[in-house]
Amino acid sequence: MRHRKKTIKLGRTAEHRKALLANQVCSLIEHQRIKTTLAKAKAVRPLAEKMVTLGKNGSLHARRTALGTLRQKNAVKKLFAEIAPRSGNRNGGYTRIVRLGQRKSDSASMAFIEWVDAAPAAEEKTAEEKATKPKREKVIEAKEPAAEAKESAPTPAEESKPKRRGWLGRKSPEAGK
């Protein structure tokens, strides 16, 4: 029976698991949203929520406790300066897990884990990225100088010679007959 055995082990040793989860939480703090497997997302959620609770406390002891767990000063600084104040009026539930389906290579269940309060900022970012794609007209303009270079290219008689491509370009003995 698995009564009171809450830890998700993820097939790793305790040290490896603690380092993995700390790095995942630091990435979540830095990027506001991370894509990972569903099992890892479920394991990261409690640790991330504990770190936000420490950030809401804001004391020196809470900061040192968070630094001892996460081991990255810039992540702790951002946690206490931006993420914790933004979640000041919530009593828990700071993260959200969004399921994405199966990964093609090994069919593992994938998911996004993100901050509940930061969802609109992540959506706006993707809309801006879509707007910055180059348009077809710019691509056509870029091809025109290449046409000028073609005019100075060798004559078609010189181009008709077959190119040798290592062993693929060699002719078989039968072709020479």
pLDDT in tens, 82-138: 999 999 999 999 999 999 999 999 999 999 999 999 856 545 556 666 667 665 665
Homologous superfamily (CATH) for 14-117: Ribosomal protein L17 (3.90.1030.10)
What is the residue extent of each domain of the chain? 14-117
Distant-in-sequence, close-in-space partners of 34: CB < 8 Å, separation ≥ 6: 24, 27, 28, 112, 113, 114
Least reliable range by pLDDT among 14-28, 44-58, 106-120, 144-158: 144-158
Whole-model pTM over 0.85: no
Question: Residue 65 and residue 52: Cα distance in Å, rounded?
Answer: 12
Question: Residue 121 and residue 142: Cα distance in Å, rounded?
Answer: 34
